[in-house]
Homo-oligomer: A and B are copies of this chain.
C-alpha cells in the first residue's frame, strides 16, 4: 500500500502523481469499509479525496490553515494527518470523530458540523494572521450545497475585501444533500459546462479571482492550480468539479441516498429501508392526502428532505407544492411565514439541531406576524449524537418566543389531531415536536387544540403529580408505576401537550392535594418547560423537581450514560422523591 509510506502530509512529497492516484483509491477503500461498518458521511468523503491530497501536497499545513465546511468531508484529511489508524484498524474506528476536532490534531482548527461556516471562520483566521504580521495560506473548503446558506454568503461578501491571502476552494459536485436549489446553481452549471466561463461569474461579481478545475478528481490538475494560488496576495476562489460518491458505484448513482448512511447500507438493497408505519410515514401520508384537496399546502424544507423521508417519489407527487430552499433555514422560515400570511398552508419540516440556524426569523418574520405556519421539529431530544448535531436545544429556543404554540404529542392520533389543527387554523405559528417514540395508538383524539395550554390529565391521583412532556411521557408512566408499587402512592399523571404555556387552572388545582410536581422533558432544562412550571409554583408550598438535560455540549456520549447522569431513570427519580418525602 502507498498509504504505508504516508504518515503525515510531508510524506506526500515523495510520491508521484501515479502514486497519489493509487493512494486516493486506497483511502477511498478504507473510507467505504469504515463508513459501511459504523455509518457516516459516504458521498462527500469519497469525492474529495484527490482535493485533500492535493491540498496537503501543495500547502504546508498545519502552518497553512485549512478550514472545512461542515467538515463531513474530512476523513481523508484525518488519514493524512496522523490518524490513519482510525481507518485501518476496525477496533479504532470510533477513536476519531466524523468531523474536524481540534482536540485530536493540530491540523484541525475548529469543531464544526453545521453548514456554511467555513468562509466566515477562515476570514477571521486570515484577519488574525494579518494583524500579527504572520505569513501563511488560509484555505476554506466549501461544497456547492453549503453556498446557499446565509452565513456562507455573508462570509464570501466579507472575505472578498480582506485584501490579503484568502483561498476559497469550492467543491462543486453538483449536489447538495439532495439536489441544489437557487439561481446560484444555474451559474455554477454554466461555469461547469463552459470550462469556467460564464457571462456573469458569481464569484468574480463578488470580487474574487477565479480558477477553474474541471478534473477535480485528478490530483495533477489540482496540484497545478493550487500551486498557482499558493501564497496569492488576494482573495481567490478555486472552483473544483468533483464526483460525489466517487469509487462506489451505488453512491455515484444515488448521490442523495448515499450522502450519509447507516451501518451496512452498502450491503442492503435500497428497498429494505422502506419500513413500517412511523411518525415519518404518517406525516407524509397526511401531507399527500391533504394536497389532494388543497392546492395551497406547501411542504418546505431546507436541504435535508431525507430526514423526513421526503424521497423523490414523495417530492414528485407534491410537484409545485414542494419547496426545498437549499440549506437556507432563515429563508425557509420567512418564505413559510409569507405563504401562511398569504392564505397558503405551509408545513415546514426541520431537524431540531438545524432550527438553531434561524432564530430572528422565527421571532420577527414568523411570530411577530402571527403567521399560521405548521413547523415540524424532528429528532428533538437527548441523544448520543456528535456535539455538532445535538437536538437538545429546540425547546428553550422555540418556547420562549411570544405567539408561538409549541406542541409535544405522545401518541399517533394525538399527533395527527395536532397536525390537522395546526394546518387548518389561521391564528398561530404552531410548532410540533415530532415524537422520537415508537408509534403507538391510543384511540381517537377529539381535543380542541384552539383552547391553548390545556394539559391532559391521564391519571387522577394525589400527593405527587408527574408531567411527562412528549418523548418522556412513557418515562412518567414508569415513574408513576414505581411510586405506586414501591410506596403505595397514587400519583397524578399528566400529558402537558403544550410546551409554550402553563395550564394555570390545572396547576392551581394540584395545590389542594399534591405536595410534589415532577417535570420530565427530553431536552435542555435551562429555559425549558420545567422551569416555567417551577416558576409558577415559586411562591407556593409546592415542591417541584425538574428533569432534563444539563447545559453542556455532549459528544457521542452513550445515551444510557446521559440518562444516568441526568437521573432520567425511574428508579433514580423515585429515589429523589423518596429523599424529600
Chain A residues near B (Cβ < 8 Å): 67, 102, 109-114, 117, 120-125, 127-132, 148-151, 153-161, 181-184, 186-187, 198-202, 204-208, 235, 295-296, 298, 320-321, 323, 325-326, 328, 330-331, 334-344, 346, 356-361, 363-365, 367-369, 387-388, 393, 396-397, 399-403, 524-528, 530-532, 534-535, 538-541, 543-546, 551-553, 576, 580
Contact = CB atoms under 8 A, between A and B. Distances in A.
Given A124-B335, A158-B335, A296 B132 contact: yes
Contact of A321 (B110, B131, B160, B553): B131
A201 B148 CA distance: 18
Contacts of A123: 331, 335, 338
Contact of A127 (B156, B157, B298): B298
Contacts of A208: 183
B356 A552 contact: no
Return the 7 tightest CB-CB contacts between A and B, nearest first. A150-B150, A124-B338, A160-B183, A527-B527, A183-B207, A128-B342, A120-B334
12 contacts: A112-B365, A151-B331, A154-B331, A160-B182, A160-B186, A161-B183, A200-B201, A205-B205, A403-B553, A535-B544, A535-B546, A539-B545
A184 to B, nearest CB: 5
A369 B111 contact: yes
Given A110-B338, A331-B120, A363-B393, A157 B184 contact: yes
A184 B155 contact: no
Nearest to A184: B157
B330 A132 contact: no
A520 to B, nearest CB: 13
Given A331-B154, A335-B127, A538 B546 contact: yes
A157 B131 contact: no
A552 B447 CA distance: 26
B120 A335 contact: yes
